[in-house]
Structure 1
């Protein structure tokens, strides 16, 4: 990584960041003081006998967008707080392991899952097959469905009090991995009263969600009847801090114990002992609208792709804390590079001053700067470029509706199932629920269908890489770089998870000394 002293641009940004951090720290003062007990952070927290320390104060990047409904991306907050659980969990390699289900077997299109005994929900009711049927059926019939179920139709029925069967319209080798998605969490009956899904007091994890204060905060207390053993921390106090400088300032000032998504510009200003950097399956991609506007023309999509210089983005914006993308699937999936061959693409055309608007969001601090550099690169190639930058909650609907010519997105590629086929289908299938490129391509749909139907192992990996090549051949997406998790943990935090899939953060073993 280049030395800071030799980069005036970076030095100016560091000085600005330090000044902003001081301001943010003042604004954050006392923001963690209203949790379920006395704020943690050192000896003498509100722990009782057997507690290892005080409450854990967490600064998170994005506020909830759907009232913490598990049927939305908010489900990953519930998972990171260890309050909602699924039938299955994944090991680091993406293989399925027992969680609320202790085992499963397949027979054709049907999978039978045996439920764990001795599990209770946070309202004291026992886990039964009826609860599993209710939760999974709610997800399967939701509109829109959780993206892990894109292209998958399933039905669930009880097979006795401790067993459920899941049947799909086509044989699906990934059913266990799909059921590990936090969007398919199992909640108590109380969560499904009314029109939405309310997870407060309805999970099975080591921490019970006792209060959700909209887009400002959440409070969780330890659940002493947790089937997996007593949590070491008495509770978690969460604050949503979209501003990356403010999140870093909260760690620096001692206002937070754990900070997720530390911006690259702030990571170098923190004590290195407080920062953990983990390669992750997350790709920054420039999605191009194939349905309307300038990028309906494949030749102009090719021109945009050729104009992009990803090396400058990695070096300038990410200060070397990222990897330049060769495809949609990055170094967190090392088999992809070994199997990949260059796709056949259209020849670049002349933009002739075509006007385009690039959208992105400010929640991830680097993305607006990425968009600015892309604006420069595309202008040099002959495009007229405007930017539209908002918070994600205020821009997602427009992006999904195809209102931008291009959109810069930081996207996890194996977030849901541990398998990239689900991400590729969601983002690039004609009926994918997250198809920002508005892509509808027969060759892509065919390749995605083959990948989805192929059994796990080497054959599936080859099918996935073939599907990736079909997508890249359309230039509907220009992969830019692969991010790394940069997380901040105070020096007295023990056992915080550093999960490249961003499913875990505070676990049963996490505590503050």
Structure 2
């Protein structure tokens, strides 16, 4: 339950944190690097500090697309379909081969976007360790074809390859971005409307407008970014005009912002409780069932998220409109066992401020059911490696289910299969793997959706994941800002028309 007097503390906390942010955005509203267009830079507060030095292959990849730095061959439209980006068009030659035709574009280092450069960039992605989530279970090769073509061949038929190539983790960078040790540097080597010019560790970054962007010149001359993990501080910065855009405003802070400055967007993000099936107490399916039975999701949606969420129904939430009518009962669930004081470690991160409160409520519910819960909360970048290594018994994760590819099967493959690259639940179940493999082979859209839901039922039947809530994300948008890009996939925030 929430502390009854929490709301009385908000104004005081905001006042205490305002001086901390005052110096963070001192450069906001200053001239661009060449001394022109004074006052047209954007000041942005992001919730997640870089976890991997802004590598395009992991969680940092969406930071780069949200800031308009990187692009892939395709992108997603409002309906989740693949549309042209660096590729002007494409066609399928056979069930394993596609030919993509490039548009005229240049990299931010001045070199041309050529078929050879694109093929090299995609080849580097296939060799990354760990592999990008968008390539989970997929082997592809890319080769230049003439002056404008890139031919991509997959080892097995991949009917959603154009969707897959929209992934932020498959962004195309120039040859200068890649070194012989496998490191990737996106500074000045991408293709988007904004050029990353300086990264100050995990605290800040500077971007300037890339005037030769193929899609036209951006209206803002640049972006000054601060990575502010504290949600109260992000809200305070927006309220006191230290920042123009602030992502992931905490639910608890929404009421402190003027209604005109908060935008709630239904997203494909689901917050779930992941249970470690590989080792520890939750290797026992009966104890996983007991944990699932102990959780009251309606309390979380109503009290913790204050109406900015829906109670968890499955891996896919209401924003995935086709899923609701196709959902079936979980398959193969075990009977709940008796916890009898079983000790477990429950972990989460505080970049999304609601998550520690969710975890605290879960701790109370699980303790009441007979578990002995130790709660651990850290900043995400200091937690991810331990979570992926299976060092926690349970983990509260907010996951955008369509962020990696836009394909519903991809999140199942990456998060819940034996070879999945983001398998925090450590799940390895032959029935789940078979169901996901069947979904991956489906070509027709309707068949693929049906197969995805059948695979979801198998995943939920293992109790490796307990869907908690489906979130509406609140973005702080200053009254002087126009053209902010808010989408359910959370891939975009700033584009060529974003300005103040």
Please give the TM-score of this superposition, normalised by the length of structure 2.
Answer: 0.97
- 2-structure distance, mates of 1:455, 1:397: 35
Task: Answer yes or no: is 1:15 the counterpart of 2:2.
Answer: no
Q: Contact 1:36 / 1:237 at 8 angstroms: preserved in 2? A: no
Q: 1:92 to 1:415 in 2, by over 3 A?
A: same
Shift of 1:30: 2.4
1:191 alignment partner in structure 2: 177
Instruction: Write the mapping of 1:90-239 to structure 2, written as runs, cut at 5 A.
Output: 90-106=76-92, 107-117=94-104, 119-195=105-181, 196-239=183-226
2:22 alignment partner in structure 1: 29
Shift of 1:381: 0.7
1:264 alignment partner in structure 2: 251
1:494 alignment partner, SS class: coil
- 1-structure distance, mates of 2:338, 2:61: 44
Q: Contact 1:360 / 1:368 at 8 angstroms: preserved in 2? A: yes
- 1-structure distance, mates of 2:30, 2:255: 33
2:197 alignment partner, SS class: strand
- 1-structure distance, mates of 2:60, 2:124: 16
Q: Deviations over 1:361-403 (max 9, x none)?
A: 1111011111111011011111111111111111111111111
Q: Which of 64, 78, 85 is matched with 2:64 structurally?
A: 78
Q: Deviations over 1:82-140 (max 9, x none)?
A: 111111011111111111101111122011100002x1111111110111011100001
Q: Contact 2:32 / 2:222 at 8 angstroms: preserved in 1? A: no
- 1-structure distance, mates of 2:231, 2:444: 39
1:67 alignment partner in structure 2: 53
Instruction: Write the mapping of 1:291-330 to structure 2, written as runs, cut at 5 A.
Output: 291-330=278-317
Q: Which runs of 5+ in 1 are unaligned?
A: 1-6
Shift of 1:456: 4.0
1:364 alignment partner in structure 2: 352
Q: Which of 346, 349, 359 is matched with 2:334 structurally?
A: 346
Number of residues paired by the alignment?
A: 497
Q: Which of 263, 273, 283 is matched with 2:270 structurally?
A: 283
Q: Contact 1:35 / 1:219 at 8 angstroms: preserved in 2? A: no
1:3 alignment partner in structure 2: none
Q: Contact 1:46 / 1:234 at 8 angstroms: preserved in 2? A: no
- 1-structure distance, mates of 2:101, 2:30: 38
- 2-structure distance, mates of 1:46, 1:422: 45
Shift of 1:32: 1.4
1:496 alignment partner, SS class: coil
Q: Deviations over 1:329-377 (max 9, x none)?
A: 1001121110111123211111111111101111110111111110110
1:164 alignment partner, SS class: strand
- 2-structure distance, mates of 1:308, 1:302: 10
- 2-structure distance, mates of 1:315, 1:274: 23
Structure 1 stretches of at least 4 aligned residues deviating more than 6 Å after TM superposition:
none
Q: Contact 1:263 / 1:366 at 8 angstroms: preserved in 2? A: yes
* Aligned residues: CA RMSD: 1.7
- 1-structure distance, mates of 2:466, 2:32: 45
Task: Answer yes or no: is 1:55 the counterpart of 2:41.
Answer: yes
Q: Deviations over 1:400-438 (max 9, x none)?
A: 111111111001100021112101111100110111111
- 1-structure distance, mates of 2:203, 2:72: 26
2:15 alignment partner, SS class: helix
- 1-structure distance, mates of 2:128, 2:196: 23
Deviates more, 1:488-497 or 1:204-213: 204-213
Q: Contact 2:95 / 2:159 at 8 angstroms: preserved in 1? A: no
Q: 1:505 to 1:208 in 2, by over 3 A?
A: same
1:498 alignment partner in structure 2: 486
Task: Answer yes or no: is 1:462 the counterpart of 2:450.
Answer: yes
- 2-structure distance, mates of 1:456, 1:182: 24
- 2-structure distance, mates of 1:460, 1:375: 37
- 1-structure distance, mates of 2:30, 2:188: 17
Task: Answer yes or no: is 1:251 the counterpart of 2:238.
Answer: yes
- 2-structure distance, mates of 1:321, 1:448: 31
Q: Deviations over 1:186-213 (max 9, x none)?
A: 1111111353100111111111111111
Please give the TM-score of this superposition, normalised by the length of structure 1.
Answer: 0.94
Task: Answer yes or no: is 1:89 the counterpart of 2:82.
Answer: no
